[in-house]
Amino acid sequence: MARFYLVSLLICLHATSTFSRHVPQQISEPVPRYSTRRQLDTEQCRTGNLIDDCWRCDPEWEANRKKLTDCAVGFGKNAIGGRDGDVYVVTDSGNAMVWDPFPHSGSDGDGISIFGSRDVWIDHCTLANCYDGLIDATYGSTSITISNNYMLHHNEVMLMGHSDEFLDDKNMQVTIAFNYFGEGLVQRMPRCRHGYFHIVNNVYTGWQMYAIGGSANPTINSQGNVFVASDNNYSKEVTKRESYFDEWKNWNWRSEGDMMLNGAFFTPSGQETSESYIKASSMVARPSSLLTQTAQYAGTLRCRKGYGC
């Protein structure tokens, strides 16, 4: 089967949505907002979020939007998007006709679908209430970073890997970093098949079934996250394996430096040595305590020149 390797970058800087946007909850006192980026002091504006600190502390950030591609981290850090191309400005959105598309050329219900692609960065999006998944990556996709997104009100949030039988997904590497998994989420944050997954410095609040799941022996490296379980005593566990214990006991799943709140717990398995997680390590995890400062900035940004973002 032919593969299509796309070099792509998706950054949602401003978007309107059909749902009511709620600001992510604060775990503790927020860091102060600033009225204009030109007044920022470099040290004051830093939060520990490697991506945002790369550009938000630059008083001239709006003068060179393409430079934002240099701020990517994780497995998707080589995404270049349109950095080397011209800027196209849409002046008339009224002449966009779709004529007789081929079968299955339209959406299959995912908010964002990554299909047979590599070098992908999805950053600062707000996603909810899609027909299928919010973000799905399948059919041999790899070198992906999913960062700084705000996800809410959805059942099956993220699927990584097409099926247990699709072995090309064994090489999949995905970084999931600095995201805020908010209210009304049920499961798959993410749900992984095969591959290697670095889940680092995210905030999880009140999943209804589980947060991180998988089958077909994926490697899960969970570092520096905050897991806040709901009050439901049957939904305290972070993890879920779609397999029998005799099989999954050898899968490499670890929790390192994670903060477990309100009874949340992570069930590890497999090896504990760092060598077993080299392919699932893509960046240095920051202390989970820093997420009290970074979580509030997840999701779409409402940026205007000369103002805070």
CATH number at residue 249: 2.160.20.10
DSSP single-letter state for residue 204: E
**Residue 92 counted as domain residue:** no
Q: What is the pTM of this model?
A: 0.82
Would 57 be classed as within a structural domain? Answer: yes
Q: Does some domain include residue 26?
A: no
Domain assignment present for residue 51? The answer is: yes
Note down pLDDT in tens along the chain; length 309 residues: 444 333 344 444 333 333 233 444 333 333 333 333 334 445 567 788 999 999 887 777 878 888 888 999 999 999 987 788 777 777 887 766 555 555 555 556 778 999 999 999 999 999 998 877 899 999 999 999 999 999 999 999 999 999 999 999 999 999 999 999 999 999 999 999 999 999 999 999 989 999 999 999 999 999 999 999 999 999 999 999 999 999 999 999 999 999 999 999 999 999 989 999 999 999 999 999 888 777 888 999 877 776 656
Would residue 3 count as lying in a domain? no
148's CB contacts (< 8 A; 6+ apart) are 49, 51, 52, 123, 124, 177, 178, 179, 297, 298, 299
Is residue 102 domain-resident? Answer: no
Number of separate domains in the chain: 1
Range of the domain at 146: 8-18+33-83+109-297
Query: Is 206 within the bounds of a domain?
Result: yes
- Catalytic residue numbers, as ranges: 188
Describe the strand order of the beta sheet including 239-241 as a list of residue ranges.
112-115, 135-138, 158-160, 191-193, 212-215, 239-241
74 inside domain: yes
